[in-house]
Chain A
């Protein structure tokens, strides 16, 4: 069990890790989800010993790691950059950690060959990293991390610098390989909520060095504890609509609305309504101006301006809304999340998922 207790790390007064306490069970894959600058890399570097925390504890199976240098920690790591040893052929690159650990060359070579076979590089063993494509270089780095069979595997956005298709393919391969690595605690840092939902047994949300929430990915997606957590776990980003309740519910440019079950128990006051991009659809009474249309694969994300309120609409088809044009939209307000002024979730609509 990998335990972090009250981990703090700051650089030039800027907190990178702010009182992080978490436990990671052996054999689980935890996705650390957060935007750039959330502290994901700092957390992994602290666990690896590459960054020295200002306070707090890191323990593996009870053993204190505070004074353990990185080279003595039983850890494997893959970073965003495809780091390999340029002076060594692919086979020697992968066998390197085994040889350093004291294994005899024939055994290390055989293990490295087997791992390279797993990552589909059996034919490239004699090449230098510079002779490989980006995807192949990252496969070498992954093979070198996996061949060690370390109890803790840290993956810091390993596929972020690859193109979309390669990223999807490699991620699936990695998940497949990790299934056979029973007992390994895997921490996978990501900025993509979709990746986190696909990958992890567990998800950990981070923002500005703080741990926002942790638990089952789908449960957090369906019921984010705070507005901040909802913002991290949703992509495209969740829309935030001002909500004021007295005798009726007023929702900024959406006007007076009937909230039904969602607003039944809400006391009069000011709230914020979180509305997923998929709950806004074209065709409806509200006229919004198109700011930008992004087509990704077979999906379209449209950024809109509804009387000064920025909105994002997600359609599962390719649609070309001309920037500057006005379109009618409708919103499934009854499916929203109601957050209190302090950001805590207090009510949510039915049938999310």
Chain B
């Protein structure tokens, strides 16, 4: 017995064996490395280009500032009213307001609609819950051009053309289906037994939703929120067709930077500055996206 214990203790103290570098493992790491380079390279390219001037850009692929090219802040300053550019501060703030406003409204309404579709049985003519859910998402299946003219006419009738409120309204119509679609699926994965247990513990349906279901749907809310923000932030088509000069969003302002001579330095800086909020958001919400949020609900 003593010998066995000792040998067990000895074997525990030995370092863990390093897995052998099998060909499959090497291929995996090579693939990851290549893919990472593929993903990171454009950012690096944009970053270096944003600090170049016309000469730096036309002199070929150079990477090392001060050594290979003379760094210039011309690209960045032109975005804020500097020479040869335009001030994107206003479009930037407009984009933030429209994206956040539309996303918050879409998530709020979409989550409520999704909970209803997940927990109650609806009948609308021949339509049942699954059909109604598909009806929501079908709004995103048709090409945007189909919606452009009706939206234009409606906003015109409401006097909301070229306004932030008008854009928010249109974006809610576009983003809410995404929120409904994501959240229905998520609520369906939350066992109904949890709702019933909350009822047994004295929660009415609203309290059940707010105190029990919503906290457990947080990863779903984050996913839906991310989708809404990404789609809202990146939209060019409706931002272009439903505005004129008064209300400009960032994607339109960036396109407007282009002229007879393509200002690669300014475009690179604007590309970086436009993806910054999304990158920041992704880092902030990453921890909510981990799996296993519902573990321990029902076993």
Report if B215 contacts A (CB, 8 A): yes
For the complex with contacts A81-B298, A82-B299, A86-B297, 17 further pairs of A-B residues with Cβ separation under 8 Å are A70-B199, A71-B201, A71-B202, A76-B200, A81-B191, A81-B193, A83-B193, A83-B298, A85-B216, A86-B293, A86-B296, A87-B293, A97-B201, A100-B202, A128-B296, A132-B296, A134-B299
Q: Does B149 contact A (CB under 8 A)?
A: no
Interface residues on A, range: 20 to 34
Binary contact readout A54-76 vs B (1 if CB under 8 angstroms, 0 otherwise): 00000000000000011100011
Is the CB of A129 closer than 8 A to any CB of chain B?
yes
Chain B residues near A144: list those with CB within 8 A.
Answer: 201
> In whole angstroms, how far apart are the Cα atoms of A50 and B198 in the complex?
12
Q: Mark A121-132, 1 if CB is under 8 A from B, else 0.
A: 000000011111
Least distance between A265 CB and chain B CB atoms (Å)? 52
A100 and B197 contacting across the interface, CB-CB below 8 Å: no
A79 to chain B, nearest CB (A): 7
- Taking a contact as CB atoms under 8 Å apart, the answer to whether B299 and A161 are in contact is yes
Contact, CB under 8 Å: A130 / B295: yes
Nearest CB on A from B297, distance (A): 4
B200 & A77 in contact (Cβ 8 Å cutoff): yes
- Interface, chain A (partner B; CB < 8 A): 48-50, 69-71, 75-77, 79, 81-87, 96-97, 100-101, 128-132, 134, 137, 144, 148, 161
Instruction: Report the nearest A residue to B200, measured CB to CB.
Output: A77
Taking a contact as CB atoms closer than 8 A, the residue among B199, B215, B218, B296 that contacts A84 in the complex is B296
With a cutoff of 8 Å between Cβ atoms, the chain A residues found around residue B191 in the complex are: 81, 83
CB contacts (< 8 Å) of A49 on chain B: these are 199
**CB contact list, B187-226 vs A, under 8 A:** 191, 193-194, 196-204, 207, 211-212, 215-216, 218
A67 vs chain B, min Cβ distance (A): 15
B292 at the interface (CB under 8 A from A): yes
Q: Mind listing 17 A-B residue pairs with CB under 8 Å?
A: A48-B196, A48-B200, A71-B200, A71-B204, A82-B298, A83-B191, A83-B197, A83-B298, A85-B197, A86-B216, A87-B212, A87-B216, A87-B293, A100-B203, A100-B211, A128-B296, A161-B299
A38 to B114, CA, bound (A): 35
Can you name the residue of chain A whose Cβ is closest to the Cβ of B207? A100
B145 close to A (CB within 8 Å): no
Closest 3 CB pairs of A and B: A130-B296, A129-B296, A130-B295
Q: How far is the CB of A258 from chain B (nearest CB, A)?
A: 55
B212 closest partner in A (C-beta): A85
Contact pick for B294, options A50, A86, A96, CB 8 Å: A86
Q: How far is the CA of A77 from the CA of B154 in the complex (A)?
A: 53
Other-chain contact of B196, A70, A96, A100 (Cβ < 8 Å): A70
Chain B residues with Cβ below 8 Å from A85 are 194, 197-198, 212, 216, 297
Complex alpha-carbon distance, A161 and B298, angstroms: 12
| Cα–Cα, bound, A148→B199 (Å) | 13
Give residues of chain B (92-138) contacting chain A, Cβ–Cβ below 8 Å: none
Contact of B193 among A79, A87, A132 (CB under 8 A): A79
How would residues 142 to 181 of chain B score, 1 for a CB under 8 Å from any chain A CB and 0 otherwise? 0000000000000000000000000000000000000000
A130/B193 contact (C-beta < 8 A), A86-B297, A100-B201 known: no
Bound complex: CA of A148 vs CA of B201, how far in Å? 8
- B215 contacts which of A69, A81, A87, A148 (Cβ < 8 Å)? A87
Chain B positions within 8 Å of A76 at CB level: 200
Q: Which of B199, B203, B212, B294 has the most CB of A within 10 A?
A: B199
Name which residue of chain B comes closest to A49, CB basis: B199
In the bound complex, CA of A131 to CA of B202 (Å): 26
Cβ contacts B215-244/A at 8 Å (1 or 0 each): 110100000000000000000000000000
Supposing A70-B196, A87-B216 touch, asked if A97 and B202 sit within 8 A by C-beta, the answer is yes
What 0/1 readout, one digit per residue, does chain B (269-299) give for beta carbons within 8 Å of chain A?
A: 0000000000000000000000011111111
State the CA gap A82–B296 with chains docked (Å): 8
A60 → chain B, closest Cβ, in Å?
15
A53–B199 Cα distance when bound, in Å, is: 18
Nearest CB of chain B from residue A277's CB, rounded to whole Å: 33
| Contacting residues, chain B, for A69 (C-beta < 8 A) | 199, 204
Q: When the two chains form their complex, are residues B199 and A71 in contact, meaning their CB atoms are under 8 A apart? A: yes
Rounded to whole angstroms, the CA-CA distance of A81 and B216 in the bound complex is 18
> What is the CB-to-nearest-CB distance from A195 to chain B, in angstroms, rounded to a whole number?
21
Q: Give every chain A residue within 8 A of B203 (Cβ-Cβ).
A: 71, 100
Q: Chain A residues with Cβ under 8 A from B298's Cβ?
A: 81-83
